[in-house]
């Protein structure tokens, strides 16, 4: 099997943690590194959380710390959803290990250069590290295969009526990414809100038996309660959706479109403006917007991946 070299930029974050748990057991993905950024919580904490998750999954990838604040704005975080610790209050051992001193954006460039056009970036948080890398290394776009981004929405928002959190936190960086010339897959709310997990499905996963599957269940307990109180059927697997797209694009429907980010609006800062549903088109169709997911297959795939932690056979899941 030809494995896809990926670098995952993230801000764990309960669903980022879930995404890392999954990515580590997807044989199609070859994780070269994880980089951390401020987003759901401060970067010190997203980095600690990435280290804790790596230890839980016996991951061998290096972790590089990134930006502590957006390129030009004040940081906005989301502890009310992810918990003050960013992991929904779930206790995980803190491994005693030293961190590399190389910064996230330098690692992104170095690894992209080593793979010379083959590296896929999967971004699960605000786009600050990528924005800084693009500003510092002008040749970076030519060195990347594509960017699979959890962020944005063709319709609506979650942090404001117009904007999704990852784009809202650093809209200037996000717009740099959409304009950089690398094909961007926008795995936004249009599709991630369809990729939800009900309480029953979460229990089924918890019952798979491994510590990793149990933690997958536990990290969503608090956010699940909030989602149910809001009248939803379950918790959206935003970041896992982007990771699964990188390995299994056939689970999703994608449409080519032009996308830019609003950086100046009074009510619309952070909106991903797409021409998908518009008669007027942008000059460039720079993105693939995910619009649909086969939810049943998506969940089946997630169960199958997580079962690997317990060495259960994939065949048991048909």
Catalytic residue annotation: 238
Q: Footprint of ligand BDR on residues 274-293 (CB under 6 A)?
A: none
Interface with Ca ion includes 19 (CB under 5 A)?
no
The residue among 39 and 143 lying less far from ligand BDR, judged by its C-beta, is 39
For residue 78, the partner it binds in ligand BDR, Ca ion, none, with Cβ less than 5 to 8 A by kind, is ligand BDR
Q: Which stretch binds Ca ion (CB under 5 A): 122-130, 167-175, 201-209, 278-286?
A: 122-130
* CB nearer ligand BDR, residue 108 or residue 153: 153
**79 half-sphere exposure, CB direction, 13 A CA radius:** 8
Binding residue for Ca ion, selected from 8, 9, 16, 298, defined by CB under 5 A: 16
- The whole-angstrom distance between residue 110's C-alpha and the CA centroid of its chain comes to 21
CB of residue 279 vs ligand BDR: minimum separation in angstroms?
28
User: What's the longest Cα–Cα distance across the chain?
Assistant: 56
The yes or no reply on residue 238 touching ligand BDR (CB under 6 A) is: yes
State the nearest-atom distance from the C-beta of 168 to Ca ion, in Å. Answer: 12
> By CB under 6 A, what part of segment 72-131 binds ligand BDR?
78, 124-125
Asked if 170 is part of the footprint of Ca ion (rule: CB under 5 A), the reply reads no
Is the Cβ of residue 80 or residue 116 nearer to ligand BDR in the bound state?
80
Compute the distance between CA of residue 10 and CA of residue 61 in angstroms, rounded to an integer: 14
10 neighbors 49 (Cβ within 8 angstroms):
no
Q: Which of 220, 282, 224 is nearest to 257 (CA)?
A: 282
Interface with ligand BDR (CB under 6 A), residue from 64, 105, 165, 252: 165
Q: Which of 8, 9, 16, 235 binds ligand BDR (CB under 6 A)?
A: 16
Q: Name the token pair of 295.
A: 């939810």
Q: Which of 164, 218, 222, 275 binds ligand BDR (CB under 6 A)?
A: 164
Gap between the Cα atoms of 286 and 276, Å rounded: 12
Nearer Cβ to Ca ion (79/181): 79
Going by C-alpha positions, the residue among 153, 90, 143, 95 that lies closest to residue 120 is 143
157 binds, among ligand BDR, Ca ion, none (CB under 5 to 8 A by kind): none
What count of Cα atoms within 13 Å lies in the side-chain half-sphere of residue 299? 17
**E strand or H helix that includes residue 51:** helix 43-56
Task: Please count the residues of this chain forming the interface with ligand BDR, following the rule CB under 6 A.
Answer: 14
Cα-based distances in Å from 246 to 8, 56, 182, 242, 279: 11, 23, 15, 6, 30
Would you say 8 and 35 are in contact if contact means Cβ atoms under 8 Å apart? Answer: yes
Among 124, 154, 219, 236, binds Ca ion (CB under 5 A): 124
The Cα 234–Cα 73 span in angstroms is 32
Residues that bind Ca ion (CB under 5 A): 11, 13, 16, 124-125, 239
Residues that bind ligand BDR (CB under 6 A): 13, 15-16, 40, 78, 124-125, 150, 158, 164-166, 238-239
């Amino acid at each position: 099997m030809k494995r896809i070299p990926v670098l995952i930029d993230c801000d764990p974050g309960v669903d980022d943690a879930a995404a890392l748990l999954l990515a580590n057991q997807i044989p199609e993905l070859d994780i070269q590194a994880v980089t951390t950024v401020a987003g759901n919580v401060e970067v010190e904490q997203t980095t600690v959380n990435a280290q804790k998750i790596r230890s839980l999954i016996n991951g061998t990838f290096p972790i590089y710390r990134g930006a502590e604040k957006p390129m030009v704005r004040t940081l906005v975080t989301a502890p009310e959803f992810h918990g003050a610790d960013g992991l929904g209050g779930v206790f995980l051992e803190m491994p005693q290990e030293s961190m590399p001193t190389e910064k996230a954006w330098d690692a992104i460039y170095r690894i992209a250069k080593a793979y010379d056009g083959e590296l896929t970036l999967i971004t699960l948080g605000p786009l600050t590290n990528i924005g800084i890398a693009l500003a510092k290394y002008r040749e970076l776009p030519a060195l990347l295969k594509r960017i699979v981004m959890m962020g944005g929405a063709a319709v609506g928002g979650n942090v404001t009526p117009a904007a999704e959190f990852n784009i809202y936190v650093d809209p200037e960086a996000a717009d740099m990414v959409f304009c950089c010339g690398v094909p961007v897959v926008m795995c936004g709310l249009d599709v991630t809100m369809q990729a939800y997990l009900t309480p029953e499905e979460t229990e089924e996963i918890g019952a798979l038996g491994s510590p990793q599957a149990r933690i997958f269940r536990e990290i969503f307990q608090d956010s699940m309660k909030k989602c149910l109180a809001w009248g939803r059927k379950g918790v959206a697997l935003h970041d896992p959706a982007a990771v699964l797209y990188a390995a299994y694009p056939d689970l999703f429907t994608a449409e080519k479109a032009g996308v830019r980010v609003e950086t100046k609006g009074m009510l619309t800062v952070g909106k991903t403006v797409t021409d998908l549903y518009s008669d007027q088109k942008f000059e460039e169709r720079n993105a693939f917007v995910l619009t649909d997911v086969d939810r049943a297959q998506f969940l089946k795939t997630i169960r199958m991946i997580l079962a690997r932690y317990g060495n259960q056979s994939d065949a048991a899941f048909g």
